[in-house]
Structure 1
Amino acid sequence: MGKVKKQNKTKATQSKNTQSLPFNTNRGQHILKNPGIVHAIIEKSALKETDIVMEVGPGTGNLSAKILEHAKKLIAFEIDSRMIAELKKRFIGTPAQGKLQVRAGDVMKDEDWPIFDVCVSNLPYQISSPFVFRLLLHRPLPRYAVLMFQQEFADRLVAKPGSKLYCRLSVNVQLLAKVEHLMRVKRTEFRPPPKVDSTVVRIEPKNPPPPINYQEWDGILRVVFLRKNKTLSAIFKQSTILEMLEKNYKIFCSIKNKPLDPSFDIKNLVDQVLEQNDFGNKRARTMEIPDFLSLLLAFNKADIHFC
């Protein structure tokens, strides 16, 4: 009986040490404290025993422990050396130890992401947008990702034309993936609690991805969403945009050995494209993905490029 009490006391001491570990909210360290929510996330992740899973910001390992119960291997990216020590200590001497690979450092600065089947993470909020873009451009594509975001960011991912939250992020992600909300998580379920509620989202990349030049696609979206409530005609009158398009046009002509007319005026060509294709009075906030694809195609046919 004394031995059992000693083991229990050791576990209680470890738990107390983890509880007292100070969290760095500047790095998005908000740890899920409700095991029921962790269980629900894992259930909705539908992991296979053959899956290699990537997790970002595992913290003390509450989600990691459940992932390791279901997956073949977990590759966990953690930037905080204190958390890495806690994570390794949690699984040392257990069957899960051999299935866990911890990679120290900033996942967004790591140029060599591993091959993985699924990504499951309570993501540090400040990297939400760049992480999603990189995830969807990663090759080979993962099967899907189950990620927790701040509620408004998650709402932007699924926003439709006309919505106040509809933005470049919405269009980009919906072009490249199928996105669905899985569950809402109240801020009180975290320690320390963040300022807003969260949402768990499932992102399933389209495989194969759409056959487009993504840099060019993203380039035109950056332009038209600069002022999403303005007409395209008004946006494309801005001198900085016209200068960029003229520079690109001249580079393209040079590469293709296409002579440049001395009277060439990029503004006239842009206006002509918008007018002939009925885009002048359209606004980005109400345009759908096929509209943006048609707009890019119309510009490209006129040798106007965005990268």
Structure 2
Amino acid sequence: MSGLRAAGGVAKKSAKKAAGGFSGIEFHKSKGQHILKNPLVVQSIVDKAGVKSTDVVLEIGPGTGNLTMKLLERCKKVIAVELDPRMVLELTRRVQGTPYQNQLQIIHGDVMKVALPYFDICVANIPYQISSPLTFKLLSHRPCFRAAVIMYQHEFAMRLVAKAGDPSYSRLAVNTQLLARVHHLLKVGRNNFRPPPKVDSSVVRIEPRNPPPPVNLLEWDGLVRICFGRKNKTLGALFRQGNTLALLEQNYAVAQALHRAADGGEVDLVAAVNRMAMDAEAQLAAAAAAGGGGSDDEMEEGGGEDEEVAAAGGGSARKRRGKASEGFKEQVLEVLERSGLLERRASKMSQDDFLGLLATFNQAGIHFV
């Protein structure tokens, strides 16, 4: 009988190990729970993050604490945000009775819903389904932090760091790189996690630009959405779209007053990145509802003229249908001609190209709010 019990115990342990268990905890892939188990990779992330002894570190989704414990060895304090109560308990137990007990603060909640406290640097292995909205939430955080070193799905990471002309270049890259410097640090294979995800991962360093760029970011986002509505079409073709022109002309009358009211500073930054984050969350929800599984490609090019119009002004494209005057159409195309971008495509345009185009439109009295 004892032999049977022993065999049964081994079978249970094997089953738990196969399910990705740790200390009796079963990890849920649906919640993005993939624990980084390779200590060499953990150490490499901490080293590349450049954590200082005086730093307050924000960690998102600490899980069982493999990364947390290494961070505690280096920094003044770790603030860990964790949604799963089982992980909160495990992390609490892990530091109990150690010298690091008073250095760890755990916030039990959804990182997308809680107000984040002050921190110097963020180091995290995040659930991949919140990659885009979380990135923009961090970029809107004030006071500004020094850097974020985050583990993303590899393909998403490549979109973040993509440059003009790269196949992965998208609105996500343009918006992120306007607000921050981004660098790919290292690729991490799926077998370094328990349970292993279906995709490889990459670690990216994000350094917010402080102060933020001197541009009205609400307008910037409106322009970039139109340009990446069909990123391989010429700007001339995109801005000849009747609905796009009609909406821009409707904006024309009120844009001057709104533009004068906007100071181009902190309020614009927070409002713009919050809108980017909300867009990403909405697109994730739509993808999930359509059976798309919540793709990380939240900010890729849209699905047609109606989407371009809705993106440009926020709101239902069907309610925005109309026809722009020929004079206004000529004015828009003249701006594109003067900027030298009439035949250019968004997929090949740099940050400076977009900034120059926005400035030229604004000088002509055309705004994207």
Name the TM tier (shorter chain).
0.7 to 0.9
CA RMSD of aligned residues (A): 2.3
Report the equivalent of 1:221.
Answer: 224
Aligned partner (choices 206, 210, 215) of residue 209 of structure 2 = 206
SS, match of residue 101 in structure 1: strand
Aligned twin of 1:150: 153
Residue number in structure 2 paired with 1:57: 61
Work out the CA distance in 2 between the residues paired with 1:64 and 1:118. Answer: 13
Aligned pair partner of 2:139 in 136, 156, 161: 136
1:119-161: per-residue Cα shift (whole Å, max 9, x none)?
A: 0001111111122222222221111111111111111122121
Measure, in 2, the Cα distance between the counterparts of 1:197 and 1:164. 19
Aligned amino acid, residue 42 of structure 2 = V
Matched, 1:28 2:32: yes
Mean Cα displacement is larger for which, 209-218 or 62-71? 209-218
Aligned to 1:298: 360
- The question of whether the paired residues in 2 share the 8 Å contact of 1:155 and 1:165 is answered with yes
- Quick one: distance in 2 between partners of 1:165 and 1:197? 16
Q: Given the alignment, which residue of 161, 164, 168 partners 1:165?
A: 168
Output one character per residue of 1:152-193: Cα deviation in whole Å (capped at 9) or x when no partner. 111112212111101112122222222222111100110111
Secondary structure of the corresponding residue to residue 203 of structure 1 = strand
1:267 is aligned with what amino acid?
Answer: K
Supply the distance in 1 between the matched residues of 2:259 and 2:122 (Cα, whole angstroms): 42
Aligned counterpart in structure 1 of residue 72 of structure 2, from 57, 68, 72: 68
Deviation string, structure 1 residues 252-272 (Cα, Å, up to 9, x no partner): 256699xxxxx7854232222
Query: 1:146 touches 1:200 (CA, 8 Å); kept in 2?
Result: yes
| 1:6 aligned residue | none
* 1:276 CA drift (Å): 2.4
SS, match of residue 18 in structure 1:
coil
- Give me the whole-angstrom Cα distance separating, in 2, the residues matched to 1:19 and 1:246: 62
Tell whether the 8 Å contact from 1:177 to 1:205 is kept in structure 2 after alignment. Answer: yes
TM-score (ref. length: structure 2): 0.73
Residues 188-246 of structure 1, C-alpha deviations (whole Å, 9 max, x = no match): 11011111111111112222221111222122111111110000111112233223322
Counterpart secondary structure, 1:148? strand
Shift of 1:77: 1.0
* Structure 2: stretches of 5+ with no match in the other structure: 1-12, 261-324
Report 1:1-307 matches (<5 A): 18-110=22-114, 112-253=115-256, 265-307=327-369
Using the size of structure 1 for normalisation, the TM-score is 0.88
- 1:18, 1:86 within 8 Å by CA — same for their partners in 2? no
My pick for the range that moved more, 232-241 or 284-293, is 232-241
Instruction: Say which SS state the counterpart of residue 115 (structure 1) adopts.
Output: coil
**Structure 2: distance between partners of 1:90 and 1:38:** 17
Q: Number of residue pairs matched?
A: 289
User: Whose relative contact order is higher, 1 or 2, with alpha carbons under 8 Å and at least 6 apart?
Assistant: 2
Partner secondary structure for residue 59 of structure 2: strand
How far apart in 1 are the matches of 2:126 and 2:110? 12
Question: Would the aligned equivalents of 1:49 and 1:70 in 2 still touch at CA under 8 Å?
Answer: yes
Identity level (%) = 55
Match of 1:126, as an amino acid?
Q
